[in-house]
Amino acid sequence: MGKAISAIAVILLLNACRFNTNDKKILPIYGNRQPVTKTVNGATVTDTIYQTIPQFKFINQYGDSISNKSLNGDIYVADFFFTTCPSICPIMHRNMLDVYNAFKNTPDVKIISHTIDPKHDSVAVLKKYADKLGITGNTWWFLQGKKEDTYKLSESYLVRKPQEDAKQVFIHDGSFLLIDKQKRIRGSYDGTDPKQVSQLIEDIKTLRSYPDEIKVK
Partner 1 sequence: MKLKIIIGLGLVCIAFIISCQSDDQLEFNRYYSNGRTIYQSKCQNCHGAKGEGLLALIPPLTDSVYLKSHKDSLACIIKYGLSKPISVSGRSFEGQMPVNDLPSVEIASALTYITNSFGNKMGTITSQQVDSDLSGCR
Q: How far is the CB of 193 from partner 1 (least distance, A)?
A: 12
Q: How far is the CB of 156 from partner 1 (least distance, A)?
A: 28
* CB of 70 or CB of 175, closer to partner 1: 175
Binding mask 181-210 for partner 1 (x = CB under 8 A): -----------x------------------
Q: Does 90 bind partner 1 (CB under 8 A)?
A: yes
β-bridge pairing 75-81 and 65-67:
unpaired
* CB of 198 or CB of 206, closer to partner 1: 198
Q: Does 120 bind partner 1 (CB under 8 A)?
A: no
Residue 35: phi, psi to the nearest 5? Answer: -75, 140
Residue 116: phi, psi to the nearest 5? Answer: -100, 10
Which residues make beta-bridge pairs with 50?
33
Alpha helix segments (H runs only) across 69-120: 89-103
List the one residue from 2, 35, 42, 86 that touches partner 1 (CB under 8 A). Answer: 86
Which residues make beta-bridge pairs with 38?
45
CB 130 within 8 A of CB 115: no
H/E segment holding residue 177 = strand 175-179
Give residues in contact with partner 1 (CB under 8 A): 84, 86-88, 90-91, 93-94, 129, 131-134, 192
